[in-house]
Amino acid sequence: MTNILEAKGLCAAYGPRQVIWGIDFAVPEGGIVAMLGANGAGKTTTLRAIMGELRAWGSLTFRGQSLLGRSTADIVKLGVAMVPEGRGTFVDFTVEENLLLGAYTRRDKDGIRQDIQRMYEYFPVLGQRRNQRAGSMSGGEQQMLAIARALMARPRLLLLDEPSLGLAPLIVQEIFQILETINREDGVSMLLVEQDAVRALRLASYAYLLETGRVALQGSAAELQASEDVRRAYLGY
Amino acid sequence: MTDFLQLVLAGAADGSIYGLLALALVLIYRSTHIINFGQGEMAMFTTYLAWSMLNAGWPYWGAFFGAIAIGFVLGLVVHRILIHPIEGAPELTIVIVTLGIYLFFNSIALWIYSGVPKIFPIPAGVPKQSWDVGGVFVVPLHVTIFAVLLALMLVLFAFFRFTKLGLAMRASAAQPHSALLVGISVPMMMGLGWGIAAMAGAVAGLLSAPIVVLEPNFMATILIFAFASATLGGFDSPVGAVVGGLIVGEVSALGGRYIEFIGTDLQLLLAFALIVAVLLVRPAGLFGRPQVVRV
Amino acid sequence: MDTVRRIDWRRNWFIFALILGAILLPVSGPIDRGVLRLLRPISIFALFFGIVGVLTLLGAIYLGPIAERSRRNLRLLQAFGALLIFIAFLVAPAYADNIPYVTTYKLTVALQWVMVVVGINLLTGYTGQISLGQGAYFAIGGYLLAIASFREWSLPWGVSLILAPIFTGILGFLFGFPALRFKGPYLALATLALAVVISPVAKRFEDFTGGVQGIPMYGQINTWGIFGDDYERFLYYFSLVAAAAMLLIVWNIMHSRLGRALIAIRDNEVAAAAMGVNTALYKTTAFGIAAAFAGFAGAINAATIQFVSPDQYSVLVSIRVFVGAVIGGVASVLGAVVGGLFTQLIPDIAAGISDAAPDAIQAVILVVFMYAMRGGFAGFVEQTWRYGRQGVQLLRPERAAEEREGRAAAPVTSSQEQA
């Protein structure tokens, strides 16, 4: 099984302030990996480093190509898309415009139109609101839109930053189910950053636990779910 | 009565010029959240370039579109080398740099072309004779200016609304971070915004130069009126810029005539008072959206 | 070669500028062809910053410890420095002929710019309000002196000199109220409009202001017997004393509770208000003081030039003096001195370089400063002093080599590197 994303000794810094201290992780092709940890552990920073938003060094390869030093736009064109924390939907634009923007890097008009239809199939509520202003939708709907928007770029790797944040449990369940479907049907690999460790471990097959910019623990989802320390510290029982 | 109508038409023509330059200011503000104090001088410089082309024997419309094209490139270049590098800098720094732009283009124009006023022709094909419409003298140039304004507005509206690039530019202006995540090169979009704005400014310069004489400071007062227009209309609203321009144009023209005190010298004072009044009462302008500042 | 790449250019550039300038200057003297003519001023520039930088470093290394031992020491050192500068200005007229571009007259006007700039520093550097309209108060001060003492009434000019700052101070204070509602660039915009309006207004109210012809005052100002008939010297020393007094006033304000409140307002107005600072009162007061300074400077300037007219108060005055303030260092009293000198002398120097476009060169200098030295000249001195205190390091730390190797360290036992 090859890894679609591999990081070795990845370090990252905000200007002069280093926050990631040499972490190793990998996302297998077609798999879902979770990155857990408390606030400030460096999970979001890691995702942003992958997207080229801050100064990073070490080794970070996507399908064999190094991502370090590339612009965000280039990284998107290579096939990585991110659903940022807080969703990042274009609030003043309609649902359909959001999806069109998601496909910005693509030129195949027919393919884009087909994909928009598929998104409406995955997320029927988006189809109902296709001409509605994104900012007027509920949090859960916006989250779905954000995921759909990222998928419009036909990425091979999808990064998700706390998709459950601020959403009602039923909606989160629905979203996670759709993620699992997309992963299964389209083979989109996923790297999921979550504070809701329970759900994340149910969806992912492997997980890393970050603590102040370092990998504190890693293992298969089953292993982590079984681990006493993890359970007490992060799963709450 | 005819006098009044005459005045209204003249006011509309002036207002169209203000609206055009205000449109440039608004485009820049929307794409980069900067108030460019040097916008007028850039427009002035482009107009001088057109003058050079005309002097070299180019046909009017060749020089017109040539100058606009150069203006576009100028806007792009100024953004790339002066504005982009100081993106996150404090407001003061950015204000200073735009003032630097003002000084630079003002003095370069003075250097190359000297302060001696030059004559700039009205657009080719526009009749010089006024039309007598029921006792009111309609100046074809004024009508042309107004028409150009409307045409430009339509073109820009269509561009931003219906094209992929226009959508991308709007998205970059609204939410640059999200735009980056969909693969848009936000700096490029900002540069294009400056380019388009410079084009609008160039048009303002090219159309107003025939009315006032072409000299290095001729856009300075127009700039203040344009600022008043953009402030009145709302700095983030293109429609506001144009409507604001027309209102300022009318108020100046009518105020200048009917209020003894103001006359032609103090119209600028009127513009200033307008700026202050709007910023006091409704800072977002007529069409702008009030800003909520996160602390 | 590797060593060259490791040199920390950002922090040590002025040392190399010093060397470069020292080499280039003698070489570039005779060169007079086209663009190469720029070599000479560039080398002077480089030399200037190099010397200032190195002197500051040395000062930081040797005097720093003394200053840090006690507050009193620090104040003494600062007072000593200020005294040195003051003495330099005291004796300058005697040497003026030896320094290119400098005459007593120009220094006098430069000192008047210093007065305007120190007001801008208070208003913009310390309270964070951008005002592009100080030239307007400058003009009003000048016109007040001319009208009150020569055209309409015959007040002794000393009285006008006192009335001017009071009048402009009140105006500035009143203008400060609506200005409270404007933020950042909008405030710049409103004040710019103020500056633009002055000239047309002066032309319009001819009866009062003499219109386009202005108000001449040649030979009509008596110097109270000091320095006898040497009008020029009198005005120079008068301006020097006045400027020094204003600098002292602002310095005192900045080191008082009021000063801290102003800085709090500049950095985070909402937080300052939440802490009980009466932001409205302080902001309008800052406007008033800056306007008063500019008004006084304008009045004494009118006496120096002995003439006022609308054309000498164009909007470019406001822009140029603001630019000078920023280049000097807008949050610093020392910066005001440099700023004033810059405003007066640079246009001449720039004109010397290239007859034709002095403002363009000023604009380029301005933009370069914004990228390289945002705090202006004073900021440069401050930064270099701090650098000297931290320890001079020519080479960057060995981070680069480690980054390249890529550290496949085990997760928890990562580097002990300092950020």
pLDDT at residue B189 in the model: 94
Overall pTM > 0.90: no
How sure is the predictor about A181, in pLDDT bands with cuts at 50, 70 and 90?
very high
Residue type (1 letter), A30: G
Per-residue burial over C296-326, b if 16 or more Cβ lie within 10 Å, else e, is bbbbbbbbbbbebbbebbbbbbbbbbbbbbb
Residue type (1 letter), C391: G
Higher pLDDT, C349 or B43: B43
Assess whether pLDDT exceeds 80 at residue C44. Answer: no
**C401 at interface of A, judged by CB pairs closer than 8 A:** no
pLDDT at residue C418 in the model: 34
**A57 at interface of C, judged by CB pairs closer than 8 A:** yes
CA nearest neighbour of C408 among A23, B58, A127, B86: A23
Chain C residues in contact with A215 by the CB 8 A cut-off are 411-412
pLDDT at residue A182 in the model: 92
**A18 at interface of C, judged by CB pairs closer than 8 A:** yes
How sure is the predictor about C34, in pLDDT bands with cuts at 50, 70 and 90?
low
Chain A residues in contact with C419 by the CB 8 A cut-off are 13, 16-18
pLDDT at residue A35 in the model: 93
Average pLDDT in the A131-144 region? 91
Per-residue model confidence as pLDDT tens digits over A183-193: 999 999 999 99
Look at A18 and C417 and tell me if their CB atoms are within 8 Å.
Answer: yes
Kind and range of the H or E run holding B227: helix B218-233
Kind and range of the H or E run holding C338: helix C333-353
Chain A residues in contact with B292 by the CB 8 A cut-off are none
Chain C residues in contact with B283 by the CB 8 A cut-off are 181-182, 186
Look at A214 and C412 and tell me if their CB atoms are within 8 Å.
Answer: yes
CATH 1.20.1530.20 fits A1-79+159-237, yes or no: no
C→B interface, C-beta within 8 Å = 124, 128, 130, 132, 178, 181-182, 184-186, 188-190, 192-194, 196-197, 200-201, 203-204, 268, 270-271, 315-316, 319, 322-323, 326, 330, 356-360, 362-364, 366-367, 370-371, 374
CA distance C326 to C228: 38
Q: Tell me how close the Cα of B13 comes to any Cα of chain C, in angstroms.
A: 22
Residue type (1 letter), A137: M
Higher pLDDT, C406 or B100: B100
Provide block-wise average pLDDT over 10 residues at a time, chain B (295 residues): 82 92 92 90 94 91 94 95 86 86 88 85 83 80 90 92 92 91 93 95 92 84 89 88 92 80 72 79 79 57
CA nearest neighbour of C263 among C332, C202, C352, C321: C332
A165 exposed, middle or buried (CB, 10 Å; 0-12, 13-18, 19+)?
middle
| Residues sharing a CB contact under 8 Å with residue C407, sequence separation 6 or more, in sequence order | A9, A11, A22, A58, C414, C415
- Which residue among B100, B265, B276 sits closest to C367, beta carbon to beta carbon? B100
Chain A residues in contact with B181 by the CB 8 A cut-off are 51, 72, 76, 81-82, 84, 88, 150
Kind and range of the H or E run holding C153: none
Please tell me whether residue A142 adopts helix, strand or coil conformation.
helix
Least trusted range by pLDDT, from A205-209, C59-63, C139-143: C59-63
Cα B238–Cα B241–Cα B243 angle in degrees, nearest 5:
110
| Residues sharing a CB contact under 8 Å with residue A165, sequence separation 6 or more, in sequence order | A85, A86, A195
Per-residue model confidence as pLDDT tens digits over C172-193: 999 888 888 777 788 888 888 8
Looking at chain C, which residue has its C-alpha nearest residue B37?
A: C189
CA nearest neighbour of A124 among A97, A144, A138: A144
Least trusted range by pLDDT, from A113-127, B230-244, C127-141, C352-366: C352-366
pLDDT at residue C406 in the model: 42
Cα distances (angstroms) measured from residue A174 to each of A19, A32, A154, B10: 34, 17, 21, 63
In a mutational test of the B interface, the residue from C197, C209, C275, C365 whose CB has the highest number of chain B CBs within 10 Å is C197
Chain B residues in contact with A90 by the CB 8 A cut-off are 171, 174-175, 178
Average pLDDT in the C87-104 region? 80
Q: How many domains does chain B have?
A: 1
Q: Tell me how close the Cα of A26 comes to any Cα of chain C, in angstroms.
A: 13
Neighbours of chain C (3+ CB pairs under 8 A): A, B
pLDDT at residue C223 in the model: 65
Higher pLDDT, B276 or A236: B276
Higher pLDDT, C104 or C98: C104
Looking at chain A, which residue has its C-alpha nearest residue C418?
A: A18
Look at A22 and C403 and tell me if their CB atoms are within 8 Å.
Answer: no
pLDDT at residue C114 in the model: 94
**A22 at interface of C, judged by CB pairs closer than 8 A:** yes
Query: Is B242 inside a domain boundary?
Result: no
Look at A93 and B182 and tell me if their CB atoms are within 8 Å.
Answer: no
Look at A153 and B174 and tell me if their CB atoms are within 8 Å.
Answer: no
How sure is the predictor about C40, in pLDDT bands with cuts at 50, 70 and 90?
confident
Look at A58 and C411 and tell me if their CB atoms are within 8 Å.
Answer: no
The 10 Å Cβ neighbour count of residue C25 is 16
The 10 Å Cβ neighbour count of residue C98 is 7
pLDDT at residue B24 in the model: 94
Look at C186 and B35 and tell me if their CB atoms are within 8 Å.
Answer: yes
C226 exposed, middle or buried (CB, 10 Å; 0-12, 13-18, 19+)?
exposed
pLDDT at residue B36 in the model: 92
**B87 at interface of C, judged by CB pairs closer than 8 A:** no
pLDDT at residue C353 in the model: 66
In a mutational test of the A interface, the residue from B160, B161, B182 whose CB has the highest number of chain A CBs within 10 Å is B182
Looking at chain B, which residue has its C-alpha nearest residue A102?
A: B182
Per domain, the residue ranges of chain A are 1-79+159-237, 88-154
Query: Is B285 inside a domain boundary?
Result: no
pLDDT at residue C226 in the model: 66
Chain A residues in contact with C408 by the CB 8 A cut-off are 8-9, 22, 24, 59
pLDDT at residue C77 in the model: 82
pLDDT at residue C141 in the model: 92
Q: Tell me how close the Cα of C29 comes to any Cα of chain B, in angstroms.
A: 25
How sure is the predictor about A222, in pLDDT bands with cuts at 50, 70 and 90?
confident
- Which residue among A53, A90, A100 sits closest to B174, beta carbon to beta carbon? A90
Assess whether pLDDT exceeds 50 at residue C221. Answer: yes
CA distance C3 to C182: 51
The secondary structure of residue C150, as a DSSP letter, is: I
Q: Tell me how close the Cα of A83 comes to any Cα of chain B, in angstroms.
A: 8
Looking at chain C, which residue has its C-alpha nearest residue B225?
A: C193
Higher pLDDT, C288 or C68: C288
| Residues sharing a CB contact under 8 Å with residue C286, sequence separation 6 or more, in sequence order | C122, C123, C126, C127, C129, C176, C262
- Which residue among B92, B106, B283 sits closest to C130, beta carbon to beta carbon? B92
Per domain, the residue ranges of chain C are 1-69+354-395, 103-344
Neighbours of chain B (3+ CB pairs under 8 A): A, C
Please tell me whether residue A67 adopts helix, strand or coil conformation.
coil
Cα distances (angstroms) measured from residue B43 to each of B193, B229, B241, B243, C290: 15, 17, 17, 21, 33
pLDDT at residue A84 in the model: 93
pLDDT at residue A234 in the model: 65
Assess whether pLDDT exceeds 50 at residue C408. Answer: no
Average pLDDT in the C76-84 region? 85
What ipTM, to 2 d.p.? 0.88
**Range(s) of the domain holding residue B212:** 2-218
C397 exposed, middle or buried (CB, 10 Å; 0-12, 13-18, 19+)?
exposed
Q: Are strands A3-14 and A55-62 parallel, antiparallel or unpaired?
A: antiparallel
Look at C419 and A16 and tell me if their CB atoms are within 8 Å.
Answer: yes
| Residues sharing a CB contact under 8 Å with residue C233, sequence separation 6 or more, in sequence order | C93, C104, C227
Assess whether pLDDT exceeds 50 at residue C419. Answer: no
CA nearest neighbour of C108 among C194, C5, C1, C227: C227
Chain A residues in contact with B175 by the CB 8 A cut-off are 88, 90-91
Least trusted range by pLDDT, from A46-50, B240-244, C333-337: C333-337
Neighbours of chain A (3+ CB pairs under 8 A): B, C
